[in-house]
Each structure stands twice: as structure tokens, then as C-alpha cells.
Structure 1
Amino acid sequence: MTRMFSPLIVIPVYEHEHAIGPLLARLRGHGVPCLLVDDGSGPDCAATLRRLAAAEPHWLSLLRLEPNQGKGAAVMAGLRDAGRRGHSHVLQIDADGQHEAADVPAFLAQASSEPDAVINGRPVYDASVPRGRLYGRYATHVWVWINTLSFDIADSMCGFRVYPLAPTLALLDQTRIGRRMDFDTEILVRLHWQGLPVRNRPTRVTYPSDGVSHFDLWRDNLRISAMHTRLFFGMLRRLPRLLARKGSRR
């Protein structure tokens, strides 16, 4: 029996008290329930999130993690909460206001028509993107193409995507995945290894002039480097299966 398509929007939040209200205003009209995962924010942000959730309990709910555990941990907590609620899919969108909330219906429509696929945001940047961030992403792109033996994943670092919940939760139950800025890339590669289709959907990304980034240049780059190393050796173990899959597509 085909499971009913039932999406939930999950937003990991850490100290984004100024950006989260405008983002929610752009999401509200889509009619999709929304879960804020407060990743151990300080008093000001925590109070803002409680106030927002209390004002619209029919649409907006709040899950609090303590202490701060990392973006990946917050998304995983949201995924598990969505599973407990009986949802079929989760749309992840970052709290910093970079992503085009008007694209939510198109992402969900594609997820509904291809319920077994990950609908992955492929950023289309405007002039606001910092050049260092833009060029730095290409190292990860190359490693992802190596570790999947494909170009199926156009951009593994975009925090705007739709997960089919059943296979994603099964993966989380059997594999330890990075809990901080390494999460977005690692989970996508591992879902690809399991045979899930990845559909890359273009979406506009802007960098607000007053935006808040929690990317730590040294620590997060070390985590991402360690993640690429783990994935590379994981790819080598799966090499015969990945090559066989690649050959079957020809």
C-alpha cells in the first residue's frame, strides 16, 4: 500500500532570533506543519522561539536540545520527531534566511511525485555570495563525486532539501553520521550509497548582509576533512557494488 505523502518542515536553529521570524512569515502560507529544533540557543533566541511556537501551536512546534549539539544533531532530532509523528517526508531548511522559501511548494511537489528520492537543493547564487565560501565548496564537490563515483549530487552542502523519512531513519539507526557541519554532505553520500535517487533542484541562495554563520573555519574544516576520509574508505569497501550499479545504468 502506498503511504500518504505527509511532509513536515524542520528548521535547525541556533542563535538566529532575528532571522527566524521573517523566515517563518515566508513559510506560513504554504500550509505545511513546521518544527523548530532549538539547538541549545541562549536565552534571547530561546525566548523568541518559545513565543513564536506558542502563538501558532496549530502550525508551529518546538523541540529544545540541551546543550548545543550541532546542526546535524538538530536535524537528526527533527527527523526522528517527524517519524514519531507519522510524517513521510521532511523538508530541511536552514534558519539563516539564505534559502528561497517560495521554492518550498516545488520541492514538495517533486518529492510527492518521486517519494523515494532525495530532492536536493542546487544553489544558484547571486552577487552576495562570499567568493571564499563559493570556491571552498568545490573541494567538497570533488570528494563527493569521487566517493559516489558519479555526478549525481550536484551540491552536498545546501541546507535546503527533502528527505524520504523511512530510508533516512533506517540509515540513522544503523550508521553514526557527523553531528555538526559535516552532516549535510555525509548523509547525502550515504543515502546515495544505499541506492536512493538524488534529484538536484535549482534554488536561489542569498547571503544577507547581517546574516549569522556558525561555521568555524578551523574546527569545521577539520571535521569535513575527516568526514571525506571516512567516506573515501567507505567507498573503497563498496567499490564493487558501486561499479556494478554504475555499469547497470549504461
Structure 2
Amino acid sequence: MSSLRGVDAASAEVPDQADPAAEPESAAGRSVVAVVPAYNEAENIESVVRDAAEYVDKVVVVDDKSSDDTASVAEASDADVVSHPMNMGVGAAIHTGYQVAIREGFDLVVQIDADGQHDPSFIPEMLAKLDEDDADMVIGSRWLNSSYKEYSAVRRAGIRFFTLEANVLGGLSITDVTSGYRVYRVSMLEDLGRPENSHWALEQTLEAARKDYEITEVSVPMPTETEGSQFDVETFMKYPARMLLTTMKVLIFR
């Protein structure tokens, strides 16, 4: 198990680069790694790793200083595990995973949640869509099927709110900017900055769009999130200020 040596996720201590000739390849001869950011998901991580491993060459779990056995369960499930020395948030966790993909020379990244919300059986379809649309990022969308109807009215309003912003400011035509189920070309990730923990998906999508990367979607049904992922009206009311900060960061600094 690897661990970070400081609070900057970019300085992650990751496994040594493997010999490319020794690595299996998939997706039309390209190497694919699944990045799974995880925090206190000991009950779910084994099945997520096992199911994702059927479609990728390696699964990397980034444990964000869980207080349960997430790291040890993931390691026992044959995932590569990188552990943060302190809880650093989802933006740091996914960035650490991207750094592993970059340093180990993978071509494609599949990002998947550790709570079981994202069905790994859709990975082949998402990889195929990447090629079909000659895209750099594929987002699994709940709005291209009826699963979004299971979400609360507040949740649906929040997703629509952020998606509208991404479409207006990024010149996009997508339906679900907040979805964390994504496929990326590593060449694009090398060109993007480290996302913040708050609204990382909006920030990442806006930056990619403004840098003229191609972004597309596929329909992926998803059940409602776990309790820890829910938010209420009070959280929704904080959106405008948070949106402004995220947007200004992309427009000015990226």
C-alpha cells in the first residue's frame, strides 16, 4: 500500500511505473485504469473493485484517510491502494488517482465511485463512446434515462443548475455535469489543473471545455446516492456563492 508524504496530492508517492510490455491492454490496444476515490467504504469497496476489474487493466483505490477498513479490504481485493495521510477531500483523491495513471503510462482512466452507485458493466459502452465521438471525456448521465426521477426535487434542481452553467459558459450540450462516472483520455488529464473539493465536476468540465476538449455523454442509470452524498435546501442555497468561486477560478486562472 502506498501513502502520501504531504498535504499536496500532486506529491503522492505512487507505485513505480510498471513495464508497459508486461501490462495487459484493453479498449482497442490501449491500457485502461479504474480510479476509485474512497472514504469509509469498507462495506462496498470489495464488490466495486471486483466488478470494475473485469473491464480494466488495473484498479487503483485512493483511500482518503478512512476511519474504517477501506484500504485493507481494497488491497485484499487485488486493487492497488494509495492512502492519503489525512482526509483531503474528493478533489485531492481523484487528482492522486490521475497522477498514478499519468506516471504509470496508462492511456485511459475510468473514474468510478466507491459506494456502488456506478455500475461497472457500463464501462465498455463508455469506452466505445469515447472512440465513436472522438471524445476526450465521456460522462455517464442520469438524465438520458429515467433514473434521475428517483432523486429529490432539490437534488434535481442542483444538477440542472450546474449543468446549465457548464453549457452556457463552456459551449456544451450535456445533461449531467455533476456525474462522477467518467472516462478520460490521460493526455487530457495531463493538461488540466487539480480540481477543488467543492464542485470538482463542474470545475473540471468547464476547464476541459474552455480548452477545447471534446466532451460527450452516455446513458447510465444510477440509484440515488448514499446518505452521505445527499444534501438539503440549506446546501442548495449555498450554490450561487460556490458556483461563483468555482467559475472565477476557471475563467481567470485556467
- Corresponding residue of 2:37: 12
Q: 1:70 aligns with which of 61, 72, 89?
A: 89
- Contact kept in structure 2, 1:5 and 1:112, CA below 8 Å: no
Runs of 4+ deviating beyond 6 Å: 234-238
Relative to structure 1, is the Cα distance of residues 91 and 219 closer, same or farther in structure 2, using a 3 angstrom cutoff? farther
AA partner of residue 32 (structure 1): D
1:90-133 alpha-carbon deviations (Å, 9 max, x no partner): 11111111122210111112224555521111113436433332
Q: 1:19 Cα deviation (Å)?
A: 1.6
Instruction: Give the unaligned 5+ runs of structure 1.
Output: 239-250
| Structure 2 counterpart of 1:86, from 105, 110, 117 | 105
Distance 2:102 2:250 in 1: 29
Deviation at 1:194, TM superposition (A): 0.2
Higher relative contact order (CA 8 A, sep 6+): 1
Instruction: Show the counterpart of 1:129.
Output: 151
Cα displacement (A) at 1:32: 3.0
CA contact (8 A) 1:158 1:184 kept: yes
Q: Write out aligned runs for 1:206-245 (5 A).
A: 206-207=223-224, 211-214=226-229, 225-230=240-245, 232-233=247-248
Structure 2, gaps ≥5 residues long? 1-27
SS state at 1:91 partner: strand
For the residue of structure 2 that corresponds to 1:170, the secondary structure is coil
Check conservation: 2:207, 2:250, Cα contact below 8 A.
no
Encode CA deviations 1:7-33: one digit per residue, 9 max, x unaligned. Answer: 211010001111222222322322431
Q: How big is the shift at 1:159? A: 0.7
Q: Cα distance 1:165–1:220, how it changes in 2: closer, same or farther (>3 A)?
A: farther
1:107 aligns with 2:129: no
Distance 1:34 1:107 in 2: 17
1:65 aligned partner, one-letter code? H
Query: 163, 166, 173: which is aligned to 1:144?
Result: 166
Q: Is the 8 A contact 1:91 1:162 kept in 2?
A: yes
Q: C-alpha root-mean-square deviation of aligned residues, in Å? A: 2.9
Residue aligning to 1:167 = 188
Q: Deviations over 1:45-80 (max 9, x none)?
A: 33323332xxx2xxx211111201111110010001
Name the CA shift for 1:27/1:236 in 2 (closer, same or farther; >3 Å).
closer
Displacement of 1:219 after TM fit? 9.5
**Contact 1:156–1:188, Cα closer than 8 Å, also in 2:** yes
What is residue 26 of structure 1 aligned with on the other side? 51
1:154 Cα shift?
2.1
Normalised by the length of structure 2, the TM-score is: 0.76
Q: Report the secondary structure of 1:143's partner residue.
A: helix
2:75 pairs, out of 50, 54, 59, with: 50
Distance 1:193 1:50, change over 3 A: same
Return the alpha-carbon distance in structure 2 between the equivalents of residues 110 and 16 of structure 1: 29
Instruction: Letter of the 1:157 partner, please give it.
Output: T
- 1:163-217: per-residue Cα shift (whole Å, max 9, x none)? 1112222222xxx531x14111101110000000111111111126xx3424666
Q: Which residue of 1 aligns with 2:7?
A: none
Deviation of residue 235 (structure 1)? Answer: 7.6
Match of 2:24 in 1: none
Q: Is the 8 A contact 1:145 1:151 kept in 2?
A: yes
Are the aligned partners of 2:177 and 2:202 in contact in 1 as well (CA < 8 Å)?
Answer: yes
Between the two proteins, what is the percent identity of the paired residues?
Answer: 21
Q: Scaled by the length of structure 1, what TM-score is found?
A: 0.77
Q: 1:202 matched to which residue of 2? A: 219
The match for 1:35 among 37, 50, 60 is 60
- Contact (CA 8 Å) 1:88, 1:165: kept in 2 or not? yes
Q: How many residues align?
A: 223
